[in-house]
Structure 1
Amino acid sequence: MVAYSKCMRTEGVRDFPDPNAQGKIDLGSGKKFDPNSDVFKAADTKCKKLLPDGGNAAPPPAAVGPAQINYAKCMRENGVPKFPDPNAEGGIDLNGETLGVDPTGPVFKAADDKCKHFLEEAAGGAPRVEKTGGP
């Protein structure tokens, strides 16, 4: 999966993420690429041979699950009202024109900070613990 990620970046998808500790690649949290773009598709065609089973393995079940839906809903509730739901592959088009907010700006980043726990927990991370009161 690491080799696939590196290949995707080499082939023009500059912000393609590395896999997490569970070997999964998150295509939906704050990334600035479109999985439906020609560049992405061309890179995937060249790089998928690096995936397990050459990319022919069945996609993981529930590519879009409650975590992605909850993340999108949370983003809309926290300052990014046009944040889209993920597509069938779990990808989200994050261009500023569609969102109405700069995906590299402070409003988007603040919303992502509040909402990314949905994706982190789904990827096997620790549940979010909110700090209240005092230092």
Structure 2
Amino acid sequence: MTQKTRSRAARLALLAAVPALALTTACGGAAESSDDGVASVSDAPSTGRTKDAGDASRSGAAQGKSAFYDAQMKFVQCMRKKVTKDYPDPKLSGHLDWTKINELQEQRGSDDVAKAGRGGACKNEMQKAMSLEPPRDTQKDYESMLAHAKCMRAHGVSKFTNPRLQDGNVIPGGDPNPASPEIAQDSPAYKQAEQACKDKLLDGLDGMQ
């Protein structure tokens, strides 16, 4: 298993322990097969917000975003103290910068960076931060991951699988067999496809598939 594969597996394992995940449904939807065999979302409910409700929601989202960022900074400070002083700042959105984290992990030759420290030294801080992440739109997250999967295949990574919707959650796509990888994520071809398709993923989804 490559360093990058371990990084993603570690991140997903940590997220799985958090009751309110980034990918937990915010507006439902069911997966169905389209004519080309690619899953799609249908019958997503409308938001139905009034202007006042929308203003209140934006105000609450702004407060939640600030709390999320502050919690992520506490996690980052923990990682700098217990793992490496070079651990990168979160993005302004509060989401971790997994591109920089993966680069740092490769430089160190250790997956402690992705696993929130040796023995999960900063796991509690990471889970606290993720529990404060503002609600996401499941349909948009799914469509973002689907576009990314299609892009990866179009750029030569033919085995890259689509995400799935299951029980109101988005299950990331990627390697069809993560336990025994079939996709060489360290290959030049994969890295070129990853670079070409990175903008398909919404903020906060990088590193998820």
Q: TM-score, normalised by structure 2?
A: 0.36
Shift of 1:75: 0.6
Indicate how the Cα distance of structure 1 residues 43 and 118 shifts in structure 2: closer, same or farther if over 3 A, else same: farther
Q: Which of 50, 57, 73 is equivalent to 2:150?
A: 73
Name the larger-Rg structure: 2
| Consecutive unaligned residues in structure 1, runs of 5 or more | 11-15, 32-38, 125-135
CA contact (8 A) 1:79 1:111 kept: yes
- In the TM superposition, what are the counterparts of 1:80-91 in structure 2 within 5 Å? 80-86=157-163, 88=169
Counterparts in 2 of 1:1-135, with a 5 A limit? 1-4=72-75, 7=79, 10=83, 19-25=90-96, 40=115, 47-51=122-126, 55-57=130-132, 60-62=135-137, 64-86=141-163, 88=169, 97-98=180-181, 100-119=182-201, 122-123=202-203
| Deviation sequence 1:49-78 (CA, Å, 0-9, x none) | 325856543663236332222111211221
Number of residues of Structure 1 aligned to a counterpart in Structure 2? 110
Q: Which residue identity is paired with 1:77? A: A
Letter in 2 for 1:68: M
The one-letter code sitting in structure 2 at the alignment partner of 1:47 is C
Going by fraction, where is strand more abundant, 1 or 2?
A: 2
8 Å Cα contact 1:71/1:116 also seen in 2: yes
Q: Is the 8 A contact 1:24 1:123 kept in 2?
A: yes
Percentage identity across paired residues of the two chains:
25
Q: Which has the higher contact order (CA 8 A, sep 6+)?
A: 2
Identify unmatched segments of 5+ residues in structure 2. 1-71, 103-113, 205-209
What TM-score does the superposition give when structure 1 sets the normalisation length? Answer: 0.50
